[in-house]
Amino acid sequence: MRVLVTGSSGLVGSTAVRHWDSLGADVIGVDNDMRKVFFGDQGSTRWNLELLKTQTKRFESHAIDVRDREAIFELIRKKPPGLVIHCAAQPSHDKAREIPLVDFEVNALGTLNILEAVRRYAEDAVVCHMSTNKVYGDAPNEVPLVEHATRFDYALQEDYHGIDETCRIDRTMHSVFGASKTAADVMAQEYGKYYGLKVGVFRGGCLTGRAHSGVELHGFLSYLVHVAVHRKPYTIFGYGGKQVRDQIDSLDVVAALEAFSCNPRAGEVYNLGGGRENSASVLECIALIEKLSSYRVEYRLSDQNRVGDHICYISDCRKLKRDYPNWHVGINLERILVEMIENDQRITKNLSLRN
């Protein structure tokens, strides 16, 4: 089996590479380290690519930009995959405001390039498109909320499980990033429903894990761990730090993609997050880091929230669990944090030894 992974040096992409390589698949990676362009050296995924080269047996990497239609078409024509894991993206809510053209070209046009190449040269392939909960814009903020000491939560019992796939995606404030990802999301659905390709759309919550190259503009939990370990100051933007997110480890994300790949449903959409059990506010994440380690987080509160940001977002994954009952979230928030802290410590130690 041949598996194509875009964004193969990133968090979910590299997890997918390792997973399918371990199963004996020929894995083709597409990644040109645009994260370094977006976020500077700290955001670069070059380190992860070098690690992948030492940890895999049947992996080959191509430094192709997903905006390069001819290169994408040529790669898929020459090496048609049976499975495509499409993770490549401009991922930052905030960065997109500065680079709206690049953001749209990478997220929307890049996705279209992948879909059309599959339609032309690998029409039997299963495609897993990594979307985002930002396609809902700020519509989730209309759900009645109650404010507690350390978090916001849903006021009504009917909303206990969180936001499901019926939440509208128009007539909301998305942010530029959310708009470009919505365009990609809808186009991916269309290639499933209109053309009949085996495309699944996965609207991720906060995707995280030890392989995350978190920066202030993207990768909240990873960056929070980084500033704790390195004793840097941290700024919480808006809502008194009580805004809630559900965290899901990339291993659990890839498990969901694998479940879909074995029994695809063309054009279907799924929320994919940690759910209520893995939900926490920024303040609660800080407290948990301090409980699990000797680190203390020095933070300040800013009154300025991010445009289109969610006050309380918990992924309702019951649809995914119904269609794929063997899938579940296996890694809890405490384990995620412990592994991220240990990984950041290990990287810091290795860097100090080199210097």
Q: Measuring CA to CA, how many Å separate 32 from each of 111, 160, 249, 323, 344?
A: 15, 41, 24, 35, 24
pLDDT score, position 218:
59
Per-residue pLDDT tens over the stretch 267-318? 999 999 999 999 999 999 999 999 999 999 999 999 988 877 899 999 999 9
User: Other C-beta atoms within 10 Å of 345: how many?
Assistant: 14
Work out how many domains the chain is built from and give that number: 1
Residue 216: its pLDDT value, please? Answer: 62
Q: Which pLDDT belongs to residue 305?
A: 86
pLDDT, averaged across the chain: 94
d(CA 174, CA 316): 19
Q: What is the pLDDT of residue 309?
A: 86
Position 37 scores a pLDDT of 86
Cα separation of 179 and 329, whole Å?
28
- 2 closest CA partner among 70, 59, 72, 63: 59
Tokens of 149: 């000491």
- pLDDT at position 349 is 62
65-109 tens-digit pLDDT = 999 999 999 999 999 999 999 999 998 888 999 999 999 999 999
3-state secondary structure of 26: strand
Q: Say what the pLDDT of residue 354 is.
A: 56
- CB atoms < 10 A from the CB of 154, how many? 20
- pLDDT, residue 170, reads 96
**What residues does 201 pair with on adjacent strands?**
129, 269
DSSP assignment letter at 315: B
Q: Are 296 and 228 in contact (CB under 8 A)?
A: yes
Candidates 197, 218, 217, 195; CA nearest to 208 is 218
Q: Which domain holds residue 218?
A: 2-354
> How far is Cα 269 from Cα 316, in angstroms, rounded to an integer?
12
Question: pLDDT below 50 — which residues of the chain?
Answer: none
Structure confidence at residue 172 (pLDDT): 95
CB count within 10 Å of CB 317 equals 28
- 3-state secondary structure string across 285-304: HHHHHHHHCCCCCEEEEECC
Q: Which of 177, 176, 172, 69 is nearest to 132 (CA)?
A: 177
Here the CATH number for the domain that contains residue 230 is 3.40.50.720
Q: How far is the CA of 313 from the CAs of 145, 161, 309, in angstroms? A: 11, 10, 10
pLDDT score of 339: 93
